[in-house]
């Protein structure tokens, strides 16, 4: 819940969903946070507004997460060096994870119409 009080500031992480492996998700988020601290990466300015009340014009300046699993896996493939620090993850684990997700989820979904696509074109 949005609060204008300076004592109510917090960090929200909403992108892992209930289908995520909690152990891997939280380890990866912790490693990303530590990487940001070590490299002094700016987290950006705080968003001191209720995000649900922003106009489309204001929302275009708010960074967003990948829009699909495939896009997320592409980003992971390009940038995962921080996950290898301290032997938390290995290159083999990351490569295997990407290969598994591509073969069993991304490519499997490509073979089937999305329910909206089915309703739009076939269900009349």
Average pLDDT, stretch 70-97? 97
For residue 83, what are its two tokens?
């996950």
3-state helix, strand, coil in the chain (%, to 5): 55, 0, 45
Tally: H helices and E strands in the chain? 6, 0
Band of pLDDT at residue 18, cut at 50, 70 and 90: confident
Indicate whether 101 pLDDT > 90.
yes
Residues 36 and 122: their CA atoms lie apart, in Å, by 48
Indicate whether 1 pLDDT > 60.
no
The answer to whether the CB of 82 falls within 8 A of the CB of 31 is yes
Residues 15 and 64: their CA atoms lie apart, in Å, by 10
For the beta carbon of residue 66, count every other beta carbon within 10 angstroms.
13
Which residue is it, tokens 């152990």?
A: 23
Phi and psi, residue 19, nearest 5°:
-85, -10
Q: Residue 4's closest CA among 57, 49, 54, 55?
A: 49
For residue 53, what are its two tokens?
């009340």
Average pLDDT, stretch 71-95? 97
What proportion of the chain, given as a percentage, has pLDDT over 90? Answer: 54
Band of pLDDT at residue 27, cut at 50, 70 and 90: very high
């Amino acid at each position: 819940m949005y609060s204008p009080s300076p004592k109510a500031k917090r960090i929200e992480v909403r992108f892992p969903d209930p289908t995520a492996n909690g152990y891997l998700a939280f380890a990866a988020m912790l490693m990303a946070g530590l990487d940001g601290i070590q490299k002094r990466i700016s987290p950006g300015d705080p968003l001191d507004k209720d995000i649900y009340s922003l106009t489309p014009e204001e929302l275009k300046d708010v960074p967003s997460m990948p829009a699909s699993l495939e896009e997320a896996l592409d980003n992971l493939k390009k940038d995962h060096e921080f996950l290898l620090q301290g032997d938390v993850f290995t290159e083999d684990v990351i490569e295997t994870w990407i290969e598994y997700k591509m073969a069993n989820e991304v490519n499997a979904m490509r073979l089937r119409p999305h329910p909206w696509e089915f309703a739009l074109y076939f269900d009349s």
